Structure 1
Amino acid sequence: MKILALILSVVLSLAAAPGARADAWPPASWMAPNKPYRVVGNVYYVGSQGLSSYLITSSEGHVLLDAGMSPEGAKLVEANIVALGFKLSDVKILLNTHAHYDHAGGLAQLKADTGAKLYASSQDKPALEKGRHFGDNENGLTPFPAVKVDRTVGEGQKVKLGETTLVAHLTPGHTIGGTTWTMSVTEKGRPLNVVFFNSISVAGNALVGNKTYPKIVSDYRATFAKLKLMPADVFLPAHEEQGDLLAKRQRVLRGDNNAFIDSTELGRFVAASEAAFNKELARQQGAAK
């Protein structure tokens, strides 16, 4: 916790300092407030400028996907939920895309404040409950507040709340239990497939000689293959910049009601990610020789 508090203090000081470096880590945008908004159907963006969190509403309560990078990040998400007119006590289920501090660091705080149950993949459960990254990574353990997983989910499992149904798709590689979530919504009479996308970047992972996660390369390749077949009218990633969400929101405000709808976006992103993965794998293989 002391390490996390130090990281956060650095982030906030960099954000406030004149001439702060754009490449400072973690990016200041991860803790920068962002006005919440409805995306499509019953899906709302409630994250920061740089870290996505999504509220999915229903008549029997709400689902929250991802929770920011820290307890302070969780408070930002909570403020956004309340700003939209929803009650924190109506958040019944917490979901997670993957067990990294920037998406799971606020789960314990949100769980305490809402009383919601946390659902996560069985493969990411150990990392969530220990509060540290799993797998050999050049960034180390990247600790975060540990959180109890109330229910594990597997491939194709449905999470239902009221009239809302989300489906879990295991997309490992970035983490061993990374999960992409999908659901269907109707927007102005038009049915849409929404994909809450789990990250698939290498992000410091050891692709060669990963003793903790020896099948990491085959998992990445299986994930790329699965995502290429996944229908996606609305692409909602775990990081804002991966889907240019802020720019899309501005387009909506200018009158473009279809700004978030693009059935080709997921395919383009996966192709670019796979190319970047292959390049990094080749680099690590060359360095290992």
Structure 2
Amino acid sequence: MRYHKLVRGWLALAAMVAAGPVLAADPPEWSTPTEPFRIADNLYYVGTKGLSAYLIVSRDGAILLDGTLEQNAALIERSIRRVGVPLNRVKLIVSNHAHNDHVGAIARIKRDTGARFLASAGDRWALEHGTGQSDVTYRPTRYPAIQVDRVIGDGEVVRLGEVALTAHLTPGHTPGCTSWSMVARDGGKLRRVLFPCSITVAGNKLIGNRGYPGIVGDFRRTFAKLATMRADIVLPGHPEFADVIARGARRRAGRVDAFVDPGLLPRMVAEQRAAFEAELAAARRKVKRDAVRRNRSS
């Protein structure tokens, strides 16, 4: 399955990052411009070829979800303007999780738009210090610190005009990982839209993680939670996981239901739950092997 292959590639990237700075270069597509496009009536893609950013437009202004890398700020702002939204109409900014490839540009976009930034308590420290905590996340890369204007809780509804965006805390990938859902009108139909936070292990330490001792339980609770949810349209932070760019091309060609795929979320959850359990089992086997070696050498 193509999604499974993409996940394996993502895990390989995580391993390279963990190996050292020489191998830690970001993929070029993360900063490659792409034309913004409409997903549903009031929902647009304004990210790069390899990193998602979504704009939700209401009568009272717009909400930006994610900002990608720091160097992409001008690209994101240009895409916002290209879909007909002046920067000063962006009133709120939210994010999925505190990794530099999703929040790196937010500090500048927040400054340029005057928008308020909302985030969960679990990621607040990392966001306001401009870094992932080492031993909590596999990517402790620095990024410009972002002042959190309001902490949101699980199930909290963020409203702007007629838009209602609901926060779902789905920790594991980071302690404050937050998925977001809304209902969007799409070609005369109402669609359930989910912006899932990442559910990949992606190099995180599962055993003996002193900075995040509850990581295993959080991942399992997140899988269980997402397994109960339903979505017609799934829009992840890495567009290739849902073929977002290709679907956008199909929509521009006239296929208004190009993004509709109710089976995508269950597939993602099932495959990532299995991958997580496999990695956890491998980590436990390694701990046992290391203990045996230490005993033999003592």
TM-score calculated relative to the size of structure 2: 0.86
Question: How far apart in 2 are the matches of 1:278 and 1:209?
Answer: 16
Question: How far apart in 1 are the matches of 2:24 and 2:121?
Answer: 33
Point out the more displaced range, 129-138 or 44-53: 129-138
Instruction: Please state whether the residue corresponding to 2:122 is helix, strand or coil.
Output: coil
Question: How far apart in 2 are the matches of 1:52 and 1:30?
Answer: 9
Q: Deviations over 1:192-217 (max 9, x none)?
A: 10001110111110000000000000
Question: How far apart in 1 are the matches of 2:163 and 2:137?
Answer: 39
Equivalence for 2:182: 183
Question: How far apart in 2 are the matches of 1:142 and 1:162?
Answer: 36
Q: Deviations over 1:246-283 (max 9, x none)?
A: 22122223332211001111110111111111111111
- Aligned in 2, Cα 1:153/1:221: closer, same or farther, shift over 3 Å? same
Equivalence for 2:76: 77
Q: Deviations over 1:141-163 (max 9, x none)?
A: 21111110000000000100011
**Higher relative contact order (Cα pairs below 8 Å, separated by 6+ residues):** 2
Equivalence for 2:55: 55
TM-score calculated relative to the size of structure 1: 0.89
Aligned-partner residue type, residue 170 of structure 1: L
Greater Rg over alpha carbons, structure: 2
Point out the more displaced range, 136-145 or 236-245: 136-145
Q: Deviations over 1:157-190 (max 9, x none)?
A: 0100011110000000000000000001122221
Q: Deviations over 1:10-49 (max 9, x none)?
A: xxxxxxxxxxxxx983111100001000101211000000
Deviation at 1:135, TM superposition (A): 5.2
Equivalence for 2:274: 275
Question: Percent identity at matched positions?
Answer: 46
Equivalence for 1:10: none
Which structure 2 residue ranges, 5 or more long, are not aligned? 1-22, 289-298
Point out the more displaced range, 130-139 or 278-287: 130-139
Question: How far apart in 2 are the matches of 1:244 and 1:81?
Answer: 21
The answer on whether the counterparts of 1:135 and 1:205 sit within 8 Å (CA) in structure 2 is no
CA RMSD of aligned residues (A): 1.4
The answer on whether the counterparts of 2:234 and 2:265 sit within 8 Å (CA) in structure 1 is yes
| Within-5 A mapping of 1:149-168 | 149-168=148-167
Instruction: Please state whether the residue corresponding to 1:125 is helix, strand or coil.
Output: helix
Which structure 1 residue ranges, 5 or more long, are not aligned? 1-22
Equivalence for 2:66: 66
Question: How far apart in 2 are the matches of 1:233 and 1:108?
Answer: 31
Question: How far apart in 2 are the matches of 1:119 and 1:95?
Answer: 5
The answer on whether the counterparts of 2:39 and 2:45 sit within 8 Å (CA) in structure 1 is yes
Instruction: Please state whether the residue corresponding to 2:159 is helix, strand or coil.
Output: strand
Aligned-partner residue type, residue 128 of structure 1: L
Question: How far apart in 1 are the matches of 2:103 and 2:252?
Answer: 30
Equivalence for 1:43: 43
Question: How far apart in 2 are the matches of 1:28 and 1:283?
Answer: 31
The answer on whether the counterparts of 1:171 and 1:180 sit within 8 Å (CA) in structure 2 is yes
Equivalence for 2:89: 90
Instruction: Please state whether the residue corresponding to 1:92 is helix, strand or coil.
Output: strand
Equivalence for 2:7: none
The answer on whether the counterparts of 1:135 and 1:210 sit within 8 Å (CA) in structure 2 is no
